[in-house]
């Protein structure tokens, strides 16, 4: 028993997983009270929020039929609430304790109780509160006095409409068995007061039948039942229930809110008619329901009109990828949805919520932002964050299954995904840093890991739908990822949906270029083009909004249709404008809506939807307009902390400003109340609203606003948070950078651009990185090579590399020339030279790449002839042999670590041109390896030494015929590769040793484990060149050791697919020749 000051606690009357409830007496006045407190010693922030919310709303409702709350106070580490005790217990208690009276309930008793409950609910709604958790546990009855009250406003809301998100059913708010379809977040519908009518219907159903309408204990099945399955009519379960009451309950439980009762007084009126009949005649005759159910609230139905064909096409696509037809093989598929802004693309896609739930699938979405186009992967990362949030909402055992699944898929590269989607760490735990690899390998590795991550998220049990909106603003990095995902032959059970404005996308747009390329590769891509609504659909929408027949509404509907050109968003906004300007009014006397078409035509209402929204925004207080202007600069989605920082006002005051805007549905909330009873996350209800809010900023003032936002965010963002907000901060600063005149601030912004560029480069978003580096360079002054040497050199060097990675060789050459003209030492130029070598090699200019390498080596003190003679080779072989004469080969592993900059730089360049000389300058190839060996002997080992040793082993075995010594150098290279434990190096060494050294000394079968390890390592590090080599050498060696041909053909098929997938042309041809040969036998 708990002990509280000035309260005599008597007995515990209720206990749940979250709460304890006691009866007690307040000592100061002897009043009987209920004491409710959180059960856990350390309650979660969500539990504390719910208690504070319950107290705040209950306290505000001074209504008969609502439990009275006296006070709330801290108790140890939790909260305790004191409420009135009127001698009641919950209906759930009575149903359990006295089932003969309460479960099922006699009809007369039920009707009296139902009328009282409905009356109370009507008062709650009249006070602009939605309860959101009506169920027998929250309805308290004193059977002796007949007093009934509604309790527990812990998840209630004062907003007239909210938008539940698609989330795991395990974390849904409310009591699942009583939850309305829209409250599940899986109905493509916002939530209003009518959600309570559904929950009331379920409660009535249980009271009269003694059972729930959907008695399953499977959570997803229950959610699907709420949104898709009709309940068994109550009168079929209990023959004593009159048909009209059964129909009334089914009307309350209609799946669409528009088909339910529209006001509590309409429910009450029908219940009273049934009660009167029962009292008068002992039975209830058929009645027409809803005669008095006329609402004066202006509400546009949320269902889609005139889109039946498009919905069917979308559902068919989902069924194909979900494997609904066992005869059809499943694969991934892309569906493009195009049309003008406001045409209903997003609303159409969200119609998939119901079938996805039926198949236990996941739906995630991300949206590209017109003001954040520079942020790489923004939409797809946002979508995948939502997936992680859904997974974290699963039970612990399911989270562990996902952890195991993702770790298996990601291997040792989990940190790559965490760097892009930090929330993944909450599932897989801390991961080891990934080793640095070359830029090409980094891109290959990132692509491969991302591919595996997406593949792991899709399964037959849980098909995945990814919806990317506003692809007209897509960044190039995301387009490459889309191409990668869809061209993955192993990807199944994935539907990727992309929506875009076709009037803003030409045939030359990168999106359509990528789509065309994918189509040519045989990827399944389908298209839905949304046209404007026809007059019939607009007439249906208008008629159902005003509860009037389409015949009566015809003149008004045609006016609306012509004005909005059949655009659904404009249609809705135009109708709302007619209502707010009293051109459509509700006649209380006649209980119907009225309008005058002539008066509407006489009004000068704009034909531009943005101007219409601007007019609505301008009716808000100036301070609220300012908040929205700044929010529009932040993006389509924004949060309270950011607004507070950039407005330089408290979060409480900003939230108060936003509350009005939420009620007007210009912005939507995307998170729940926090422990301070504030909502942190929001989004504009439509792009046009964001566009209108942004248009409120004078064009000449926009740079000032963005600059101020960037400065405020930078100042008020901690170093720990800066990484998450980096792109946003830098983009705002860059937008207004022309206004920055002081060089110290320009230099600081240049440093931030450097960091942003490096972060984008690490995520292989090279075009975005190039923009950041270039912006950074423009911010430097003409003296920066003297005043900010390190920053200038780093910016130029990074820009050179990403220019190459973007394929912009002209820009690369220009930037490289600046470095060569200003660098203080050759060491400062090595990175740039290395990039130029890679660039020449990638363009097929191998001779030029080698020439560049030799020139740099000469500057570093390593002089090699461009066209060596056999005599040159023999002389160098003898020099190296003499240096090694007094040393055991195996002992070379104990050499000190190379530390001097000259030999380190030389080893880097030698490593870059080794394979090039093998192909284009074979006479130079032995000298390269000899130089690496000589430098290692003289200055110590480095990671590149292993390559020198193994290549020297190849030379000794294959050219000099000193097989024993060559084999030892191969083994030395293996040992050193194991010691440095850099996978990129190990891959190259293992492949070279197994393919070109090992067979001189050992049976060919012994090479297979090493080749397999190298193959796996090459896949992990993105070294597709060596994936190709190993993909050929493994089946080649299997052939030579006599593997049974049928089994060998299966092996060749597997490796052939992989080598083709990583687009390695030469190894692919080699494998094909081997396959032809094997098939011949």
Fold of 870-1080: 1.25.40
- Residues near 39 by Cβ (< 8 Å), separated by ≥ 6? 15, 16, 17, 18, 19, 20
Report, as an integer, the average pLDDT of 502-521. 90
Over range 893-917, report the average pLDDT. Answer: 91
Q: What is the pLDDT of residue 1016?
A: 84
| Architecture of the domain made up of 89-281 | Orthogonal Bundle (1.10)
What's the pLDDT score for residue 328? 67
Res. 321: pLDDT tops 70: yes
The predicted pLDDT at position 144 comes to: 93
Q: What is the pLDDT of residue 185?
A: 87
User: In this predicted structure, what is the pLDDT of residue 3?
Assistant: 83
Q: Tokens at residue 245, please?
A: 């009451």
What tens digit of pLDDT does each residue of 534-546 get? 999 999 999 999 9
CB 139 within 8 A of CB 180: no
Look at 131 and 372; give whichever has higher pLDDT.
131
- Classify each residue of 474-494 as buried b or exposed e, where b means 16 or more C-beta atoms within 10 Å of its C-beta: bbbbbbbbbbbbbbbeebbbb
Instruction: Report the relative pairing of strands 494-500 and 464-469 from DSSP bridges.
Output: parallel
pLDDT of residue 180: 95
Decide which of 713 and 310 is more confident. 310
Q: Answer left, alpha or beta for residue 371, where phi above 0 means left and psi between -120 and 50 means alpha.
A: alpha
Q: What is the average per-residue pLDDT within 699-712?
A: 90
**Residue 25: what are its φ and ψ, rounded to 5°?**
-130, 135
CB 494 within 8 A of CB 458: yes
Residue 525 has pLDDT above 90, yes or no: yes
pLDDT of 783-793, one tens digit each? 999 999 999 99
Which tens digits make up the pLDDT trace of 655-664?
999 998 998 8
Question: Quick one: 308-529 is in which CATH superfamily?
Answer: P-loop containing nucleotide triphosphate hydrolases (3.40.50.300)
pLDDT exceeds cutoff 70 at 396 = yes
**Which residue carries 């539907």 as its tokens?**
495
Q: What would the pLDDT profile of 963-996 be if each residue is shown by its tens digit?
A: 999 999 999 998 998 887 777 788 888 899 999 9
> Looking up tokens 């015809």, which residue turns up?
554
Which residue is listed with tokens 């089932």? 99
pLDDT at residue 558 in the model = 95
Whole-number Å distance between alpha carbons of 1023 and 1028: 9
Q: Is 973 exposed, middle or buried (0-12, 13-18, 19+ CB in 10 A)?
A: buried
pLDDT in tens, 449-476: 888 999 999 998 999 999 999 999 998 8
> Are 965 and 956 contacting, i.e. CB atoms less than 8 angstroms apart?
yes
Question: Tell me, what's the pLDDT at 217?
Answer: 87
214 Cβ neighbours under 8 A, 6+ residues apart: 177, 222, 225, 226, 229, 231
Q: Return the pLDDT at 43.
A: 85
In this prediction, residues 616-631 reach a mean pLDDT of 92
Question: What mean pLDDT is reported for the chain?
Answer: 91
pLDDT tens digits for 589-612?
888 999 999 999 988 888 888 889
To the nearest whole percent, how much of the chain has pLDDT over 90?
Answer: 62
Fold entry, domain 7-84? Phosphorylase Kinase; domain 1 (3.30.200)
CB 429 within 8 A of CB 390: no
> Contact, 650 vs 644, CB < 8 A?
yes
Can you tell me the distance from the alpha carbon of 454 to that of 492, in angstroms, rounded to the nearest whole number? 10
Q: So what's the pLDDT on residue 406?
A: 94
> Do 794 and 754 touch, CB atoms closer than 8 A?
yes
Interatomic CA distance for residues 329 and 524, integer angstroms: 13
Confidence of residue 337 (pLDDT cuts 50, 70, 90): very high
- Please report which helix (H) or strand (E) contains residue 83, including its range: strand 78-84
Q: pLDDT value at position 723?
A: 81
What confidence category does residue 884 fall into, taking pLDDT thresholds of 50, 70 and 90?
A: confident
Confidence band of 289 (pLDDT split at 50, 70, 90): very high
**Per-residue pLDDT at 325 exceeds 80:** no
As a whole-number percent, the residues of the chain with pLDDT over 70 amount to 99
Residue 1: band (very low, low, confident or very high) from pLDDT cuts 50, 70, 90: low
Q: Is the pLDDT of residue 114 over 90?
A: yes
Q: What is the pLDDT of residue 345?
A: 94
CA distance 919 to 447: 28
338 pLDDT higher than 90: yes
What is the pTM for the complete model shown? Answer: 0.79
Q: Per-residue pLDDT averaged across 480-496, rounded?
A: 90
């Amino acid at each position: 028993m708990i002990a509280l000051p000035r309260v005599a606690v008597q007995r515990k009357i209720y206990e749940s997983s979250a709460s304890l409830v006691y009866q007690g007496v307040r000592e100061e006045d002897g009043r009987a009270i209920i004491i409710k407190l959180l059960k856990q010693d350390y309650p979660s922030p969500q539990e504390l929020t719910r208690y504070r919310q319950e107290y705040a709303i209950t306290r505000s409702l001074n209504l008969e039929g609502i439990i009275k709350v006296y006070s709330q106070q801290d108790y140890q580490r939790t909260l305790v609430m004191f409420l009135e005790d009127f001698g009641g217990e919950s209906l759930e208690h009575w149903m359990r304790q006295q089932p003969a009276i309460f479960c099922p309930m006699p009809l007369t008793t039920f009707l009296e109780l139902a009328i009282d409950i409905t009356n109370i609910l009507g008062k709650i709604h009249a006070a602009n509160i939605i309860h959101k958790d009506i169920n027998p546990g929250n309805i308290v009855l004193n059977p002796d006095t007949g007093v009934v009250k509604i309790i527990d406003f812990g998840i209630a809301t004062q907003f007239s409409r909210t938008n539940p998100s698609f989330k795991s059913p395990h974390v849904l708010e409310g009591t699942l068995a009583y939850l309305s379809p829209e409250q599940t977040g899986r109905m493509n519908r916002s939530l209003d007061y009518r959600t309570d009518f559904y929950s009331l219907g379920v409660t009535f159903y249980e009271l009269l039948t003694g059972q729930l309408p959907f008695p399953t204990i499977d959570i997803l099945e229950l959610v699907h039942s709420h949104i898709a399955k009709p309940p068994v009519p109550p009168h079929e379960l209990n023959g004593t229930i009159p048909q009209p009451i059964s129909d009334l309950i089914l009307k309350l439980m209609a799946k669409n809110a528009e088909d339910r009762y529209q006001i509590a007084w309409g429910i009450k009126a029908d219940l009273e008619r049934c009660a009167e009949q029962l009292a008068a005649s002992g039975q209830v005759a058929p009645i027409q329901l809803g005669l008095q159910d006329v609402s004066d609230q202006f509400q546009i139905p949320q269902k889609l009109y005139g889109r039946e064909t498009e919905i069917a096409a979308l559902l068919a696509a989902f069924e194909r990828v979900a494997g609904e037809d066992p005869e059809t093989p499943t694969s991934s598929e892309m569906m493009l949805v195009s049309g003008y802004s406001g045409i209903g693309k997003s609303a159409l896609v969200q119609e998939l919520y119901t079938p996805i739930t039926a198949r236990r699938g996941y739906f995630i979405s991300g949206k590209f932002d017109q003001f954040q186009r520079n942020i790489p992967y923004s939409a797809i990362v946002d979508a995948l964050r939502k997936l992680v949030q859904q997974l974290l909402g699963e039970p612990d055992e399911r989270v562990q299954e996902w952890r195991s699944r993702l770790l298996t898929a990601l291997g040792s590269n989990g940190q790559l995904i965490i760097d892009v989607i930090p929330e993944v760490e909450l599932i897989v735990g801390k991961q080891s840093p990934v080793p640095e690899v070359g830029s090409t390998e980094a891109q290959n590795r990132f692509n491969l890991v991302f591919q595996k991550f997406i593949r792991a998220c899709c399964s037959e049990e849980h098909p995945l739908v990814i919806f990317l909106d506003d692809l007209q603003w897509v960044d190039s990095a995301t387009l490459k990822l889309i191409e990668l995902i869809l061209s993955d032959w192993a990807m199944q059970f994935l539907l990727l949906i992309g929506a875009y404005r076709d009037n803003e996308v030409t045939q030359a747009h990168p999106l359509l270029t990528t789509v065309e390329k994918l189509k040519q590769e045989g990827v399944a891509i389908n298209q839905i083009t949304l046209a404007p609504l026809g007059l019939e659909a607009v007439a249906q929408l208008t008629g159902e909004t005003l509860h009037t027949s389409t015949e009566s509404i015809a003149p008004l509907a045609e006016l609306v249709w012509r004005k909005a050109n059949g655009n659904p968003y404009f249609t809705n906004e135009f109708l709302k404008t007619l209502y707010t300007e009293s051109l459509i009014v509700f006649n209380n006397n006649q209980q119907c809506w009225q309008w005058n078409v002539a008066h509407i035509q006489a009004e000068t209402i704009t034909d531009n939807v943005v101007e219409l929204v601007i007019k609505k925004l301008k009716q808000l207080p100036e301070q609220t307009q300012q908040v929205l202007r700044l929010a529009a600069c932040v993006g389509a989605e924004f949060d309270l902390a950011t607004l507070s920082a950039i407005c330089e006002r408290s979060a409480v005051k900003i939230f108060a400003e936003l509350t009005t805007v939420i009620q007007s549905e210009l912005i939507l909330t995307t998170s729940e109340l926090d422990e301070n009873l504030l909502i942190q996350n929001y989004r504009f209800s439509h792009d046009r609203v964001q566009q209108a809010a942004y248009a409120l900023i004078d064009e000449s003032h926009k740079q000032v606003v963005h600059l101020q936002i960037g400065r405020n965010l930078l100042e008020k963002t901690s170093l720990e948070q800066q990484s998450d907000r980096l792109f946003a901060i830098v983009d705002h600063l860059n937008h207004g950078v022309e206004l920055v005149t002081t060089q110290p601030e320009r230099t600081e912004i240049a440093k931030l651009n450097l960091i942003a560029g490096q972060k984008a480069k690490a995520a292989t978003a090279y075009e975005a990185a190039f923009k950041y580096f270039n912006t950074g360079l423009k911010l430097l002054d003409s003296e920066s090579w003297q005043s900010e040497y390190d920053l200038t050199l780093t910016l130029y060097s990074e820009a050179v590399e990403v220019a190459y990675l973007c394929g912009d060789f002209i820009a690369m050459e220009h930037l490289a020339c600046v470095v060569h003209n200003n660098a203080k030492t050759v060491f400062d130029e090595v990175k740039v030279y290395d990039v130029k070598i890679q660039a020449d090699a990638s363009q097929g200019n191998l001779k030029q790449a080698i020439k560049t390498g030799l020139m740099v080596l000469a500057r570093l003190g390593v002089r090699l002839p461009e066209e060596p003679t056999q005599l040159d080779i023999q002389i160098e072989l003898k020099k190296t042999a003499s240096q090694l004469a007094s040393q055991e080969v195996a002992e070379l592993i104990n050499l000190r670590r190379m530390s001097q900059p000259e030999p380190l730089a030389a080893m880097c360049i030698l490593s870059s041109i080794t394979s090039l000389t093998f192909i284009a300058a074979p006479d130079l190839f032995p000298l390269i390896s000899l130089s690496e060996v000589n430098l290692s002997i003289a200055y110590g080992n480095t990671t590149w030494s292993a390559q020198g040793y193994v290549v020297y082993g190849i030379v000794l075995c294959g050219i000099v015929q000193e097989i024993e010594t060559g084999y030892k150098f191969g083994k030395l290279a293996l040992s050193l590769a194991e010691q440095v434990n850099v996978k990129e190096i190990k891959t190259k060494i293992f492949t070279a040793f197994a393919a070109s050294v090992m067979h001189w000394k050992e049976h060919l079968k012994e090479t297979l484990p090493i080749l397999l390890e190298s193959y796996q390592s090459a896949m992990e590090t993105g070294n597709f060149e060596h994936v190709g080599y190993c993909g050929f050498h493994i089946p080649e060696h299997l052939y030579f050791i006599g593997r049974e041909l049928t089994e060998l053909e299966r092996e060749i098929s597997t490796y052939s697919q992989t080598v083709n997938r990583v687009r390695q042309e030469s190894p692919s041809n080699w494998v094909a020749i081997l396959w032809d040969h094997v098939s011949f036998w």
